[in-house]
Structure formats: structure tokens, C-alpha cells
Structure 1
């Protein structure tokens, strides 16, 4: 029964996120699942809900995460002809975005390390 209560909490927060997403869809397009995750994060940080109230179901979801990628993989297979016709653009996009992510990650790590060293010296 504990798992069902935790699932109800997660689904409730997701539903609220979907509702908020539908309200703001005219202004900005943010998926309801993302809004729900932000709401869950804020609620956990502000101790509105405790980690124990979502611990078991979140562990279950994390342990079985590979199952959630099956529909995306099937969709890729059904779209193979579109992928083939745009392969150069896709490879260039993947390469450029990978370089940008690595560059930004390096900058963030350097900033965080310098802040950590600055705190040690004080």
C-alpha cells in the first residue's frame, strides 16, 4: 500500500505540472513532466514532502529506467528513412552540441573548483 501512496504523490505532482503547462502554453512551451519535476524538486527542498514519501517508487523507476526508452527506440526505427535523409545534419548537430557541452562543463568545473579553493584559503 505504501508504494501506491507514493505513486499517487508522483502522479499528482505530474498532473499538476501538466495542468500548469496547459495554462502557460500560450506564453511558453514547457512540458508538464518538466514542470512536475521542478515542483517535486522544490517540494523536496522546502520539506513540503519528505524523501520517504517517494523513496520506494522512485527507486523502482530508477531501477527500471531502461524500459522507458523502448518507445523512443521503436520510434527511431520507424523514422529510419527520415534519419537517413538528414544524416549529415544529425552528425554535425551531435558533434557541435557535444563540443559545446564539454566546453561548458569544463568552465563550470573550473569555476566550482576555484570557489572551493577560495573557501579553503579563507
Structure 2
């Protein structure tokens, strides 16, 4: 009986994550449609993010309705870069002639993104710590582990 309950809980959890990813994909698709209709050079995914932000900001969509699906996508983000990395192999001639400039651009932009992301994460962490009452180190460790 316990095994059946465990299977049911896991099945529901997986279904919830699939539904949340479908909502996120739908918003990205809607953004793509808006980008095509407006004939803008802005990618549809950016419009999708703007729509998501506005829905969250105006409380039409609650964060916990999409959090688990978003967390899964972020954890597995590296898989989404594999096709583009393999695609670079078809541009060997470009890498031969412009490889140094491309490498410098990639290294610099990666460093800038890491610096900005780290600074933002640090600021958010500090702001959350100021709003919360004092807790033990064990409670903090449990929270970080749950991310």
C-alpha cells in the first residue's frame, strides 16, 4: 500500500512538472508569435519572458505554479546548449580565420555574465537575510540544499 502511495505521489509530481513546463513553453511560444506579428528583431523568447514577468508581477500567475518546472529547466540547461555546440563544428573555416576574436568575445562575455549574476545573487541573498528573523546555520543549510 505504501509503495502504491509513493508511486501515486511521484506520478502526480511528474505530471505537475510537465504541466508547468508546458505553461512556460506556451508563454515562450506566445512571445514568438508576438515577435513575428510585430516584425521586430527582438527574439520571441524575450517577449515570452516579459509576459511571464508581467503575469507574475500582477499576480495573474503565482510563482509556485511554475517553480518546479522552471527549476528543472534551469538544472538541465546544459543539455540545451549541446545542439548549438555541435552546430559550431560545421563552421570550421570561420573558426580557423576568426577563432581568436570569437574566443575573446566568448571569454569576455562569459566573465561579464558571471560577474553580474554573482553580484545579483549576492545582493538577493543579503536582502533576504535582512527580511528574515535570525535562524540557525542548520536551517540555512537546509534551505540552500532545497534549491
Using structure 1 for the length normalisation, give the TM-score: 0.68
Change (3 A) 1:96 1:47: same
Deviation at 1:37, TM superposition (A): 1.1
Taking only aligned residues, the RMSD between alpha carbons, in angstroms, comes to: 2.8
Secondary structure (helix, strand or coil) at the match of 1:79 reads: helix
Change (3 A) 1:6 1:76: same
Deviation at 1:84, TM superposition (A): 1.1
Aligned residues: 103
Q: Of residues 12, 17, 21 in structure 1, which corresponds to 2:35?
A: 21
Partner of residue 9, structure 1: 23
Partner of residue 111, structure 1: none
Partner of residue 118, structure 1: none
Structure with the larger RCO, 1 or 2 (CA within 8 Å, 6+ apart)? 1
Using structure 2 for the length normalisation, give the TM-score: 0.58
For structure 2, the residue ranges without an aligned partner over 5 or more in a row are 1-14, 117-147
Partner of residue 79, structure 2: 67
For structure 1, the residue ranges without an aligned partner over 5 or more in a row are 106-122
Q: Of residues 44, 48, 51 in structure 2, which corresponds to 1:39?
A: 51
